[in-house]
Chains A and B, each alone.
Chain A
């Protein structure tokens, strides 16, 4: 199963609405209304994997679109699970 890794140049933290991403290269912020669906990895570290709550139906589709959007912005990267 694919994992979604936060690149070295991105910071992300939990807020009441969901996640707040910060791109250290551009210093741009991205506010993500993800509720409890996504869990941020540690602020720094070797391999920071975004936590994803198991979902079904419309909510699963919504989170999938959200992940695609975040990948498009370069805020997460799809990767095979670590061995």
Chain B
């Protein structure tokens, strides 16, 4: 089946959406992509509004919702909303910092179907993780992970955002994941939200990016979502997208119902609308912001022999480093000049 050609076709609805369902968080991670949303303090959809949005996601036949935040489990109604989405056939994934997991919460989660958990841990040791996620968090996160393992939670991964601080720990992080029966997930560090302020300190060097690309090619079982589509070697091509899915395959919902092309592009410049004012279907179908992303071409990359496998890379990284859309991903491994 000609997957690549068809994946470029305009879809009737997103395949998945990222829903930052709360601004509230009990941690202050230095690279948090949602730090800007929290700083803007625009509030959250209430329970009825969330239920109405889930009804619409089901009508649109969105396959999967990735709940994040903030820390989703801080919302009093979150478990009810999860069950509400699952009852409508939507696969649910929750990105959590893991610090609120306890036996009572596990009782609830174990009773759910179609639930995947992704626990964030940004280092294989206390010192590294705690610099990024805050003092004392390594032990608290690990306690949550131990609970997931001991209670036999079936579908969970540990996610590390790869930065200069922890890139040397990937092998050890992978061993830690396997020890707990979790899938290993690596995510790309991007200069969005809090990542903007820590970019110079945390971003990978060209050599580290090259080594990471090689490592991912050798370890296809390691999950990356679409994080590294612009950097991944050809051996991982069958595992994910070969292009940015923003406004095509996915979109992001902010806590207040604002809609953006993707979770890494929750910037006022890319506000496509709000579900408080109009339907998500209408925004996805006809927002000028989304149309702009669908038509986005990185012309400077067209002559590259890898164009068909990355299409110019991540627009979010390019935009936040250059304040321009349509430029090549500055971390492209083929790029001759390293962005300072």
Does B6 belong to the interface (CB within 8 Å)? Answer: yes
Report A-chain residues with C-beta under 8 Å of the C-beta of B127.
none
Q: Can you list, as one digit per residue, whether each of B62-98 has a CB less than 8 Å from chain A (1) or not (0)? A: 0110000000000000000000000011010000000
Is there contact, CB below 8 Å, between B12 and A44? no
Does A79 belong to the interface (CB within 8 Å)? Answer: no
B11 in complex: contacting residue of A11, A20, A24, A32, CB < 8 Å: A20
Q: Complex: how many Å from CA A27 to CA B240?
A: 11
Is there contact, CB below 8 Å, between B10 and A27? no
Q: A16-B9, A29-B15 are in contact. Are A24 and B1 (CB under 8 A)?
A: no
Q: Complex: how many Å from CA A75 to CA B316?
A: 34
Is there contact, CB below 8 Å, between A27 and B91? yes
Does B114 belong to the interface (CB within 8 Å)? Answer: yes
**Residues from 3 to 47 in A contacting B, C-beta threshold 8 Å:** 11, 13-17, 20, 22, 24, 27, 29-33, 43-44
> A1: shortest Cβ distance to chain B, in Å?
25
**Residues from 23 to 73 in B contacting A, C-beta threshold 8 Å:** 58, 61, 63-64
Q: A11-B61, A13-B13 are in contact. Are A30 and B89 (CB under 8 A)?
A: no
Interface size class for chain B? 20 to 34
Q: A11-B63, A27-B64 are in contact. Are A43 and B10 (CB under 8 A)?
A: no
Is there contact, CB below 8 Å, between B12 and A16? yes
> B293: shortest Cβ distance to chain A, in Å?
19
Q: A11-B89, A24-B91, A44-B89 are in contact. Are A31 and B15 (CB under 8 A)?
A: no
> A17: shortest Cβ distance to chain B, in Å?
5
Does A69 belong to the interface (CB within 8 Å)? Answer: yes
Name the residue of chain A whose CB is nearest to the CB of B241: A29
Q: Complex: how many Å from CA A43 to CA B116?
A: 20
Q: A13-B13, A17-B9, A29-B15 are in contact. Are A43 and B114 (CB under 8 A)?
A: no
Is there contact, CB below 8 Å, between B11 and A15? yes
Report B-chain residues with C-beta under 8 Å of the C-beta of A30.
1, 3
Name the residue of chain A whose CB is nearest to the CB of B155: A25
Report A-chain residues with C-beta under 8 Å of the C-beta of B322.
none
> B177: shortest Cβ distance to chain A, in Å?
18
Report A-chain residues with C-beta under 8 Å of the C-beta of B89.
11, 43-44
A22 in complex: contacting residue of B6, B15, B58, B88, CB < 8 Å: B15
**Residues from 6 to 23 in B contacting A, C-beta threshold 8 Å:** 6-7, 9-13, 15
Q: Can you list, as one digit per residue, whether each of B280-304 has a CB less than 8 Å from chain A (1) or not (0)? A: 0000000000000000000000000
Residue ranges of A at the interface with B (Cβ–Cβ < 8 Å): 11, 13-17, 20, 22, 24, 27, 29-33, 43-44, 69
Residue contacts A-B, CB under 8 angstroms, 25 given: A11-B61, A13-B13, A13-B63, A14-B12, A15-B11, A15-B12, A16-B12, A17-B9, A20-B15, A22-B64, A22-B91, A24-B91, A24-B114, A27-B64, A27-B91, A31-B1, A31-B2, A31-B6, A31-B7, A31-B9, A33-B2, A33-B6, A43-B88, A44-B89, A69-B1
